Amino acid sequence: MVTDPVRRLEERIENCDDGREIMAAHMLAIEYDIGQNVPQDSQRAHQLWVRAAAMGSRDAHYNLSQSYGKFHKERGVEKDDKKELYHLEEAAMLGDAASRCELGIYEGDRGNWDQAKRHWMLSASAGCEGCLYTIKRGLQKGVVSEGEYKKTLRDYEESIKLTKSLQRVVGKHILGKHIKFGPGGVNTL
């Protein structure tokens, strides 16, 4: 059952046009998507992510990319490769490391290795450990220079140092099984 505070929050989100409720819309969408504190309603989650993305939420853009891509069936959305790519690009431009990493995979799958490498280096520099590993493998295979790897490693270490906080540790403990925490943002699994 949807509670009065949830209804009031939804009204605030729907009536806000200046971006003040971006995080509220995104977090409420997560709650609908996983059925926490409200009945599970993936289509409502999708609607809220559309609203939050329109207000500039990188996390909402990432989740929309997933809705149009690999989770389209679960979220009751028609698969749409163009929308999936659009939302990945938007999230990446807003600083989401997971989106940047997936864009690297997208470019790599198409044989655009220089572009893929650039995406992975940016993502690793923002704290994506998987992309750092990919860049390290590129160094071992001779497609990444030692200078590129060292710069990416320094940037990665600095990013990790900056993102450690008590709130992140507590949040990961409380929401860890439903949420992916990383320097690039917070995304539902």
Residue by residue, DSSP assigns 2-58 as --HHHHHHHHHHHH--SSTTHHHHHHHHHHHHHTSSS---HHHHHHHHHHHHHTT-H
pLDDT digits (tens, 9 = 90+) for 51-110: 899 888 999 999 999 999 988 888 888 999 999 999 999 999 999 999 999 999 999 999
- C-alpha 30/C-alpha 23 separation (Å) is 11
Crossing angle of helices 97-109/58-68, nearest 10°? Answer: 40
- C-alpha 65/C-alpha 46 separation (Å) is 11
pLDDT digits (tens, 9 = 90+) for 18-58: 566 777 888 889 889 998 888 899 988 998 999 899 888 99
CA 159 to chain centre: 16
